[in-house]
Chain A
Amino acid sequence: MSNNSSHITEYKVLGRILLILMFFTFATISVTSFNLASFTVTVALLIAGIKGYFVLSYFMHLKYENLLLRILVGMIFVLFALIVLITFIDYSYR
């Protein structure tokens, strides 16, 4: 059931997360200068996944939500990863 108490994140923490996100944005751009062949999409999605984790956890306060909600959101990421993986079973072996 719902957790009615709201959590206020400190500006300091939010600032740190912002810096982390900027670092990974820089990494997303930098990594395109390397030829990673079939791993290009994997690396791009991995970086995007890490950024998504920080946004969800801190900016969207998922870190302070109840366990059920965290599991459900986690399962969405697993599902997304599976869909991408299965699609690439086609592209990798075609």
Chain B
Amino acid sequence: MSNEVNKIEYVSYLEHQGRFKGLKSWIFATDHKRIALLYMYAIAAFFFIGALLGLLMRFELIAPGETIMKAQTYNGLFTVHGVIMIFMVVIPGLSAVFGNFFLPILIGAKDVAFPRLNLFSWWIFVFGSVLAVASQFLKSGPPDTGWTFYAPYSTTTGTSVIIATTAAFILGFSSILTGLNFLVTVHQMRAPGMKFFNMPLFPWAIYATAWIQLLATPIVGITLLMLIAERLFGIGFFDPNLGGDPVLFQHLFWIYSHPAVYIMILPAMGVITEIVPTFCQRKVYGYKAIALSSLAIAGVGFLVWGHHMYTSGMSENARWFFSLLTFIVAVPSAIKVFNWISTMYKGSIDLKPPFLFALAFIFLFIIGGTTGLILGSVATNIQVHDTSFIVAHFHYIIFGGMGFAFFAAIHYWLPKMYGRLYNFRRANIACIIMFIGFNTLYFPQFVIGIQGMPRRYFDYLPQFQTGHMISTIGGVILIFGLFYMLINLIKGARKGPKAPANPWNGSTLEWQIPSPPSLENFDEPFEVKANPYDYK
């Protein structure tokens, strides 16, 4: 028989004709790659809505007093910005998009363990997101509690808290189902010969994240149901007037929401761990340490929630205990940073856009991480609690960390996802613009935070105006950079030059298959290496 007969004809997943055509072939797709793209389009749309809302907030704060909106509108805006960004962008972000697309490929599988459940997760995500956005337009007005829905205010405010919390509850289901799917995929779907310690490190990060999604999300789900029950039936879980304890809400909320930070950042760390060795052409330094540090972060990250509550009226003993645990969780995070830098040492560094974004991530994450230690210590935390210092720290970790890792990931994997290349020079310029814009936006908030500028305040003393002015200018630069990057990526994905199978000379499995991959990823035999980062 000739080779042509033996060889399966290659059809990319983008061209594959399944049961449905057109839009239906996407919204009813069970292929993990198409579902990943569905998530990406939805999340990108929400991200730009959230970013524009953030920019409106910055314009309001450009000068003291009322500038472009009323105080109640501002309260609604920071809640909407938070709910969209946290529940609809950063929590699903990397895991649902790149986890879905690349987890099966990186472990040599044809799909995730439960493809239909995967599609169902996306539908639940869309339903929850629509409900969350709808809550902002109801007659009762957008919820004004902040994304944390703190009791007892959230039990009494007349705004649309019930709809917003129901939306968060539904979005949580999507997260749980995705986590469950990924856990089973890693346990059951690995290619023959691929043991746990042969897996690339992005799957390790997704695996650790999936455990958090599965175990922590139900807690916030129950908490939000308790809040809804309290509002509807006056049960008195959290309202002191009814015999409840508002600190209990904070405990339950942060038992989920601190690990949720690791749902956001662990996959980001996984992305960086893939990019650094590829663009340095070096074996990753300390493979096992990085793999196990993901699990350590997931495990210890469960036990540090109280550092959000030092000023809540929690007992003294609990405060020092949480402070101790918080310092411990910094260790595995630092292990990763040391290992990335050690991987770069004596490497053949290639400053292509994914690596530039990865460097930006490391720089911003170090600032976010070290300022996190200031917040982990009880004494300094109390000084800066509920100031814009927290806003700056949080955005350095979430936007500087997860956001820049997302940008690094899309620049790294876009050639594989769409089979086309984008303009490298424009991508590098976009990265530099965003890096400058990001630091101009958030760094002044550290300074005015230490000086006493409260967070979530519509008005402020004149002494903080310079900081706010610089910050708003940074916001404009950042938004410009974001749109510049987006246009370059869209142009590349649609009309860019065709990408080879392995444009970066990567060593992991996704670079062994054509760009874009076929429906079942692996049409030909592939090699599972003992070390996935086997660079000479």
Listed in ascending order, the chain A residues whose CB lies under 8 Å from chain B are 1-2, 76, 79, 82-83, 86-87, 89-94
Contact = CB atoms under 8 A, between A and B. Distances in A.
A86 B321 contact: yes
Nearest to A68: B187
| Majority DSSP secondary structure for residues of A touching B | helix
Contact of B318 (A1, A76, A79, A89): A89
B380 interface: no
A94 B314 CA distance: 7
Contacts of B321: 86, 89
Contact of A2 (B188, B299, B302, B316): B188
10 contacts: A2-B188, A79-B299, A79-B302, A82-B303, A83-B255, A86-B306, A87-B255, A90-B317, A93-B316, A93-B318
A84 B352 CA distance: 48
A89 B315 contact: yes
B317 A2 contact: no
A22 to B, nearest CB: 26
Contacts of B215: 76, 79
A90 B306 contact: yes
B317 A86 contact: no
Contacts of A2: 187-188
Contacts of B188: 1-2
A34 B317 CA distance: 29
A89 B323 CA distance: 13
B315 A86 contact: no
Contacts of A87: 251, 255
B363 to A, nearest CB: 33
B450 interface: no
Interface string B284-303: 00000000000000010011
Contacts of B226: none
Interface in B311-340: 313-318, 321-322
Given A83-B302, A86-B306, 13 more contacts: A1-B187, A2-B187, A76-B215, A79-B302, A82-B302, A86-B318, A86-B321, A89-B315, A90-B318, A92-B315, A93-B316, A93-B317, A94-B318
B63 interface: no
A93 B320 CA distance: 12
B473 interface: no
B302 A90 contact: no
A15 to B, nearest CB: 31
A90 B322 CA distance: 10
Nearest to A87: B251
B235 interface: no
Contacts of A93: 315-318
Interface in B456-515: none
A81 B187 CA distance: 25
B303 A83 contact: yes
Closest 8 CB pairs of A and B: A90-B318, A93-B315, A94-B315, A93-B317, A89-B318, A90-B315, A90-B314, A87-B251
Interface in B120-137: none
A86 B320 CA distance: 12
Contacts of A83: 255, 302-303
Contacts of B317: 89-90, 93
B415 to A, nearest CB: 33
Which one of A87, A89, A90, A92 has the highest number of Cβ atoms from chain B below 10 Å of its Cβ? A90
Contacts of B316: 93
Contacts of A82: 302-303
Nearest to A94: B315
